[in-house]
Amino acid sequence: MIDYWPLLGIALVVLGFALRFNPLLVVAVAAVVTGLLGGMDFLKVLSTLGKGFNDNRFVSISYIVLPVIGLLERYGLQQRARRLIAGFRGATAGRLLVAYLAFRQVFAAVGLKDVAGHPQTVRPLVAPMALAAAEKQHGALDEDTGERIKAMSAATDNVGVFFGEDIFLAIASILLIQGSLASFGIQLTPLQLSVWAIPTAICAFVIHGARLLWLDRRLKSSPSLLGEGNRAKRGGGAGAKPLHQPAPGPPPPDKLGEEL
């Protein structure tokens, strides 16, 4: 007779996530409960959890990387990135993101998909640089246009890594595709799958690159065009609040004496 009691751990995970408990605590409790209901003693469950954590201890790297990025941002990483891109004469938001798309795809294709990502590059570097490039070309941007540029920065990272990583042989997605096709009687080697992933990656680069250049064109024709629909819904108009307010300058000389 099949023992279904260990499946109670799945119900605990669903319930814990639905109640918004700490995910790490929920998964740990569910794992312990599943092990105990499966006939394992408590020490054996702890030993299994410890071995799994030790074998995959690279997961804890995120707890080191994120505070480092936070400290860099605290000491002006985004401002430095904006200042750097402002020094390039022909830089635009679209061209910058096209270059990042190429970088992301090439590095993912050789297995280095973790050298960049949303927390370590997009938020502190790529998005601020794209905003700075757009502001240099078109002046102050409204909030909706700024959010669209940030979204395109994140989407560029997604497209680059998603369609680039399948070119690399030793990656989980290739093995998953191979196993799925094998279940339908289609036998392909990882090399064959990788080779046929190249045309897909090229098409993804061309299509998303065209979207990025079209973003430049829309910004050039009307910097506030991208946000007109959302501002109309909120009752905003031509006088919408810009994304970055300029810092107040010193008072004029004739006013300075009066203030003193």
Most confident range, picked from 55-69, 133-147, 211-225: 133-147
Residue with the bigger pLDDT between 7 and 99: it is: 99
Residues 213 and 99 grouped into a single domain? yes
Measured between alpha carbons, how far is 183 from 191 in angstroms, rounded to an integer?
A: 18
Q: Is the pLDDT of residue 242 over 80?
A: no
User: Which pLDDT score is estimated for 250?
Assistant: 53
pLDDT band at 106 (very low <50, low <70, confident <90, very high): very high
User: Which pLDDT score is estimated for 158?
Assistant: 94
Residues 19 and 140 grouped into a single domain? no
Last residue of a domain, one of 16, 34, 55: 55
Mean of the per-residue pLDDT values of the chain: 79
The 3-state DSSP composition of the chain as helix, strand, coil percent (nearest 5) reads: 75, 0, 25
Residues 117 and 141 grouped into a single domain? yes
Q: Is the pLDDT of residue 114 over 90?
A: no
Residue with the bigger pLDDT between 1 and 48: it is: 48
Residues 11 and 125 grouped into a single domain? no
Residues 129 and 37 grouped into a single domain? no
Amino acid letter for position 154: A
pLDDT band at 135 (very low <50, low <70, confident <90, very high): confident
Whether 126 is in a domain gets the answer yes
Kindly tell me the burial class for residue 260, based on how many C-beta atoms sit within 10 Å of its own C-beta (0-12, 13-18, 19 or more).
Answer: exposed
Residues 104 and 187 grouped into a single domain? yes
Q: Is the pLDDT of residue 188 over 50?
A: yes
Residues 13 and 40 grouped into a single domain? yes
Residues 19 and 118 grouped into a single domain? no
User: Which pLDDT score is estimated for 90?
Assistant: 77
Whether 150 is in a domain gets the answer yes
